[in-house]
């Protein structure tokens, strides 16, 4: 009987380890975010992200928390656009039509790219949506946010963005 309890504990331990990695990206804070220009990301507009602070948000049209995040992302884009901050929404829907239908129904004031090939989302190993990254102008990840909480996510974004803006201003002598 004691032997069976040990086996159950070992199995339970491995299950916890397995599930603890779910929902988190393989890309971590203080590592380099992949260069978006090296992926086939579809867009209806041209963009230049060099030297900008980026809030990169992975989303899908069927994801309710993603939909909840859109007004917050719009607000941040409006408030921070003059501070060299660009919001980049990366859609992971299978087809672009689903994304387009969603965007017609939901106001979007930020850049949206479609990862049709899923190369970027695979490289980063996104396991849940939304997942967002705040990236410094040098491409280093300042913070990673998994999921969306109406009460805390905007505050978390703003703390990270303000930190990078402050660092950028000191570096540029502003």
List, for residues 92-111, the tens digit of each pLDDT value: 999 999 999 999 999 999 99
Residue 16 covered by a domain: no
**Which structural domain, as residue segments, surrounds residue 87?**
31-171
Residue 129 covered by a domain: yes
- Residue pair 129/92 in contact (Cβ under 8 Å)? The answer is yes
Question: Domains in the chain: how many in total?
Answer: 1
From CA 58, how far away is CA 12, in angstroms rounded? Answer: 32
- Please tell me the number of Cα atoms within 13 Å of 73 on its side-chain side: 30
Angle of helix 64-80 relative to helix 153-171, nearest 10 degrees, comes to 30
* Residue 100: CB atoms within 10 Å: 15
Residue 25 covered by a domain: no
DSSP string, 111-165: EEEE-TT-HHHHHHT--SSSEEEEE-TTSBEEEEEES--TTTHHHHHHHHHHHHH
Q: pTM for the full model? A: 0.83
CATH of the domain at 54: 3.40.30.10
Residue 21 covered by a domain: no
Per-residue pLDDT tens over the stretch 69-88: 999 999 999 999 999 999 99
From CA 12, how far away is CA 25, in angstroms rounded? Answer: 23
What percent of the chain lies above the pLDDT cut of 90? 77
Residue 7 covered by a domain: no
Does residue 8 carry a pLDDT above 70? no
Residue 90 covered by a domain: yes
Start-to-end CA distance of the chain, whole Å, equals 70
Q: What is the mean pLDDT of residues 27-55?
A: 92
Give the strands of the sheet with 131-135, arranged side by side: 111-114, 85-91, 53-59, 131-135, 141-146
Does residue 17 carry a pLDDT above 60? no
What's the confidence (pLDDT) of residue 171?
78
- Residue pair 23/127 in contact (Cβ under 8 Å)? The answer is yes
Residue 89 covered by a domain: yes
């Amino acid at each position: 009987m004691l032997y069976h309890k040990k086996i159950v504990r070992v199995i339970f331990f491995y299950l916890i380890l397995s599930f603890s990695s779910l929902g988190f990206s393989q890309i971590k804070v203080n590592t380099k975010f992949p260069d978006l220009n090296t992926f086939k990301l579809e867009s209806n507009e041209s963009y230049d992200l060099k030297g900008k602070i980026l809030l990169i948000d992975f989303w899908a049209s069927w994801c309710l928390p993603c939909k909840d995040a859109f007004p917050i992302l719009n607000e941040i884009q409006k408030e921070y656009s003059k501070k060299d901050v660009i919001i980049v929404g990366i859609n992971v829907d299978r087809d672009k039509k689903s994304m387009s239908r969603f965007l017609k129904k939901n106001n979007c004031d930020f850049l949206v790219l479609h990862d049709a090939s899923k190369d970027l989302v695979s490289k980063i190993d996104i396991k849940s949506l939304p997942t967002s990254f705040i990236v410094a102008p040098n491409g280093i990840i300042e913070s990673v946010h998994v999921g969306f909480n109406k009460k805390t996510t905007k505050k978390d974004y703003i703390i990270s963005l303000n930190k990078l803006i402050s660092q950028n201003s000191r570096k540029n002598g502003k």
